[in-house]
Amino acid sequence: MFESLSDGLQSAFKSLRGKGKLTEANMRDGLKLVEQSMLEADVSYSVVQSFMEHVTEKAVGRRVLMSLRPGEELVKIVYDELVDILGPVDSSLHLKADGVTVIMMCGLQGSGKTTTCGKLSQLLKEQNIKPLLVAADLQRPAAIEQLRVIGRQLDVPVYAEEGANDPVKVCQAGVKQAQQQGARVVILDTAGRLAIDKELMDQLARIDKRVKPDQVYLVVDGMTGQDAVNSAGAFNEALELDGVVMTKLDGDARGGALLSVKHVTGVPIKFIGTGEHFDALEPFRPEGMTGRILQMGDMVAAAREAHRIVDESQREELEEKMKSGEMTLDDFKGLMEKVAKPGLMGKMMGLMPGMGQLKDLMNSEEAAGGIKQTIGAINSMTLEERRNPKIIDIARRTRIAKGSGVQASAITQLVKQFEQMKPIMQAMAGGGMGDRMQLMRQ
Ligand code: GDP
């Protein structure tokens, strides 16, 4: 995510790190690099200006220049300022305690709106909250079918009227059906266009006025840079948005839109889309995102990913083991088998502090092979060795290595890895759902 922005900021920090005391001129040179990487990432000019003003004011202060580690102080200043321009964010869906909550989704064609309707349904279902999808895009003939397919995939009911021509009526009927069926949330998939036009805005404003949704979200494609910011501004004038969902941040989005939307339009980003699958929707957290941009990791997101990988029964078993401290290499093997899915390990590593650089490595074929080797090596151990890896001495190591066809040093490495993975396993067993749960708080 945002590799070039991340790399640009890293080289700015690197130019100042380890220099001991700095002069104002040194610091200003470093700041120039920070500014340059933000402009290259297509961050709106007004955002860069205001950001640089604040950062410069703090960074050339006496306290920072005289400190022993001015480079690190600068990282902290940049971190705080990024968190400030991205937030504050309330990523709650504000569900009503009683009755149906109506969420209206809008966006230009291709932004990922319909997919996001599916992702939100999935999120709700995970919390045992029943959603109903309403096909209110009557412009595009295939839109109704697309939503129906998503509904079938996720086992979520879809309200649609074949041949209807008034989206307001469809939405109203959909809300009624949700009430009858006991659904708690209605998600309106409204029409999109290739570009903003008056007719589209009028239609959306009519739905807004007559159906009175509780929340109105705009879906924007993060890869479209400034266009995403401009469309957020235009939609917000017509509709008073409650939040933005920025999609496709898994692609080669440069990050500019993400950093600009809140500052330019005043509308917070509530969720980000990080893939085509229905589980690739994350509540937006300025601290976590800033951590990822500055390659400091995002432990909350890592824990959430980890938590999703294991199912409920395994989780209980793991939790028990974590409590009693009986985690063994067999459990480790079980988790490795789960994590060894394409892309998953890389994603996890990208979120771990200090492991960002390992991401590509972990996504490679070699990494998949490495995981297979690990599993093979554990298979070659005795039950006792798996329970208590500390007893693995040179003789045992040689035997295991021979049995599984790996180098003896790989066995040492494996035991070390097991220790390092413990916090992740802990997350898989317990925490990590915290902020997803928070979402649903009213
Ligand atoms: P709509 O016209 O706004 O309803 O857009 P769709 O929901 O049909 O999405 C357009 C395309 O974007 C589809 O191919 C989706 O799979 C893809 N898409 C949506 N969200 C994401 C995302 O977060 N990441 C990626 N990589 N693709 C996405």
Q: pLDDT tens across 361-412, in order?
A: 455 555 666 677 778 889 899 989 988 888 999 999 999 999 988 888 888 8
pTM of the predicted protein model: 0.75
Find out whether the beta carbon of 412 lies less than 6 Å from any atom of ligand 1: no
Find out whether the beta carbon of 236 lies less than 6 Å from any atom of ligand 1: no
Find out whether the beta carbon of 276 lies less than 6 Å from any atom of ligand 1: yes
User: Who wins on pLDDT, 442 or 172?
Assistant: 172
Find out whether the beta carbon of 118 lies less than 6 Å from any atom of ligand 1: no
Rounded CA gap, 329 and 365, in Å? 23
Confidence of residue 441 (pLDDT cuts 50, 70, 90): very low
208 CA to centre of ligand 1 in angstroms: 24
Q: Which residues contact 18 (CB under 8 A, 6 or more apart)?
A: 71
Find out whether the beta carbon of 273 lies less than 6 Å from any atom of ligand 1: yes
Strand ranges for 291-408 from DSSP E:
none
Rounded CA gap, 165 and 351, in Å? 46
For the chain, which domains are there? 3-86 (1.20.120.140), 101-294 (3.40.50.300), 303-429 (1.10.260.30)
23 CA to centre of ligand 1 in angstroms: 48
Rounded CA gap, 342 and 436, in Å? 24
Find out whether the beta carbon of 107 lies less than 6 Å from any atom of ligand 1: yes
CA nearest 253: which of 37, 83, 1, 48?
A: 1
110 CA to centre of ligand 1 in angstroms: 6
Find out whether the beta carbon of 224 lies less than 6 Å from any atom of ligand 1: no
Contact 65, 23 (CB under 8 A): yes
Residue 439 has pLDDT above 50, yes or no: no
Find out whether the beta carbon of 370 lies less than 6 Å from any atom of ligand 1: no
What ipTM score was computed for the predicted complex, to two decimals? 0.99
Rounded CA gap, 82 and 2, in Å? 14
Rounded CA gap, 240 and 267, in Å? 9
CA torsion 268-271-276-278 (nearest 10°) is: -150
Task: State the average pLDDT over residues 193-218.
Answer: 92
- Return the structure tokens found at 370: 């490495």
Find out whether the beta carbon of 275 lies less than 6 Å from any atom of ligand 1: yes
Ligand 1 pocket: which of 276, 281, 347 to mutate (most atoms <8 Å of CB)?
A: 276
247 CA to centre of ligand 1 in angstroms: 7
Candidate ranges 166-180, 300-314, 345-359, 383-397; pick with highest mean pLDDT? 166-180
The answer, yes or no, to whether the previous bond of 88 is cis (omega within 30 of 0) is yes
Atom of ligand 1 nearest to the CA of 274: 23
In this structure, the strands spanning 131-136 and 158-159 are: parallel
189 CA to centre of ligand 1 in angstroms: 13
Q: Which residues pair with 281 in a beta bridge?
A: 273
Find out whether the beta carbon of 109 lies less than 6 Å from any atom of ligand 1: yes
- Return the structure tokens found at 293: 């941009």
- Return the structure tokens found at 325: 């401290």
CA nearest 101: which of 63, 80, 129?
A: 129
266 CA to centre of ligand 1 in angstroms: 25
- Return the structure tokens found at 160: 């649609």
Determine how many CB atoms are found less than 10 A away from the CB of residue 257: 30
Where do we find the tokens 């771990």?
Answer: 352
% pLDDT > 90, the chain: 45
